[in-house]
Amino acid sequence: MNTDKIPSSKREHAPLEKGLDKLLSPFGVFFRSQASTGVLLLLAALLAMVMANSDYQRFYESIGHLPLSVGLGDWQVKYSLHHWVNDGLMVIFFFILGLEIKRELLAGYLRQVRQSLLVLFMAAGGMVLPALIYALCLRQDAVALMGWGIPMATDTAFALGALALLGARAPRSAAVMLSALAIVDDIGAVLVISVFYTEDISWLYLARAAGVVGLLCLFNLLGMRRPIFYAVGGLVLWWCVHQSGVHATTAGILAAITVPARPYAETGWFTRRMTMLLRRFQQLDHPDKSILEEHRQHDLLEEVHQVAEQTTTPLQHWGSVLDRPVSYAIVPLFAFLNAGVSLPNTLSAETLSPVTWVTMLSLVVGKTLGIASFTWVALKFGWGALPKDMRFLQVVALGLLAGMGFTMSLFIGNLAFLEHPQVLVEAKLGILAGSLLAGLLGSGLFLLAHRQAD
């Protein structure tokens, strides 16, 4: 809860609360900043790298292999922590992603045809060219070629975090465009995961999954907005997709599409109802009585909470509720378990494999050239228009930031090289180095563009 806007004189403090507030206030400022998620991801990745290249290497590896089981009676499911995070908890991340995609399509930047057309061109370039560069460079190596989808995706948290650190030195529209671009990128990545990184498909379980999606859509059409229906349906959907052979995270996107985007009540009713409740609350207000003594005020506040819930959409509300656990726990945990790469004793250009170099090249050069060139073509033929506060140099900078693949690239890498651990290590090294280099170059180019504008 954000209490910054409440004057200290109007707050009621516990005996030791003021001291604790002073102690925790820097952390509060950090977690409210846009850059916090990106910083946490970076710290998780750094911790993983340090542990993987120290005396704690075996301990680090044992964390991922820690067996965890879930069961009911004789029925039991047992997987490693690494598997639970990648195939279980990350479904919630993809669910949040699906909610964002749906919101953007219904009411966001992608709703307007002219704007969405430009973003679609940018995203297409940012997916096609990196994958093409990767495939052309490694076409002779059948195993390495399986990772062609790695450089296609953008890590939204990292990219937006880097943009947030730039502050006013990056145009305001850059964050909107980068978010929309990343969302289209993520749609492409999900399709790639579902179609190209799926082996043996069980059509029976896939049909069952389709039936569950149909049931969730029916819940939406019937106006059912209680989370329990979608939570239970989502769990059943996850199990069906997991058993079908399609990667389980696809269930998160499918479940998100079925979430209601309509509120229970219109905003006009909310305004009238809140005005009446506020008037009643003021009538009961007494300077000598606390809310603990005046139970009628408490009842009114409970009703205020209900009225607010009825006027927001499940699409927005559930996304807000899940955002922090996903951003501050699930994604950093994924980064920690997947980013640890044991480096060779002598790290040099000669010791790095072609997979590492090509992954870096595809993320840094492929993404940038793809986004910049496709944007230029779209603008040349009048298929879109840049925001007024953006110049083409900043589009190039945006392309570099989009090269921060990290989370999604690691995710695809794990799927591509599941049976080839050494190649996976080489790809991870390229992802980490490429994402870092893309972030630094993109930030530097935004600073250069800002100085030129001054």
List pLDDT tens digits, range 388-440. 888 999 999 999 999 998 888 998 998 899 889 899 989 999 999 999 999 99
More confident of the two residues 17 and 242: 242
pLDDT tier at 258, thresholds 50, 70, 90? very high
The rounded distance, in Å, linking the Cα atoms of 343 and 358 is 18
More confident of the two residues 344 and 340: 340
Is residue 306 a part of any domain in this protein? yes
The rounded distance, in Å, linking the Cα atoms of 128 and 188 is 10
Is residue 431 a part of any domain in this protein? no
Q: Which letter, b or e, does each residue of 79-96 get, where b requires 16 or more Cβ atoms within 10 Å of its Cβ?
A: eebbbbbbbbbbbbbbbb
More confident of the two residues 32 and 172: 172
Is residue 220 a part of any domain in this protein? no
pLDDT of residue 285: 84
| Neighbouring C-beta atoms of residue 191, cutoff 10 Å | 15
pLDDT score of 91 more than 60: yes
* Overall number of domains in the chain: 1
More confident of the two residues 15 and 448: 448
pLDDT in tens, 166-223: 878 888 888 888 888 888 887 888 788 878 887 677 889 989 999 999 999 999 999 9
Is residue 50 a part of any domain in this protein? no
pLDDT of residue 33: 54
Is residue 297 a part of any domain in this protein? yes
More confident of the two residues 342 and 223: 223
Handedness of CA 51, 54, 56, 59 (dihedral sign): positive
Is residue 28 a part of any domain in this protein? no
Print the domain residue range for 303. 267-311
- For 248-262, 338-352, 414-428, which range has the lowest pLDDT when averaged over its residues? 338-352
pLDDT of residue 3: 52
Is residue 277 a part of any domain in this protein? yes
Task: Give the SS3 label for residue 70.
Answer: strand
Write the DSSP assignment of 248-269 as a string of letters. TTHHHHHHHHTS--S-SS-HHH
pLDDT of residue 165: 80
pLDDT of residue 30: 42
Structural contact between residues 335 and 41, judged by C-beta atoms closer than 8 angstroms: yes
The rounded distance, in Å, linking the Cα atoms of 150 and 371 is 16
pLDDT in tens, 282-330: 888 887 777 777 788 889 999 999 999 889 999 999 999 998 898 889 9
Handedness of CA 39, 172, 361, 184 (dihedral sign): positive
Is residue 273 a part of any domain in this protein? yes
pLDDT tier at 87, thresholds 50, 70, 90? confident
What is the biggest distance separating any 2 CA atoms in the chain, rounded to whole angstroms?
81
pLDDT tier at 256, thresholds 50, 70, 90? very high
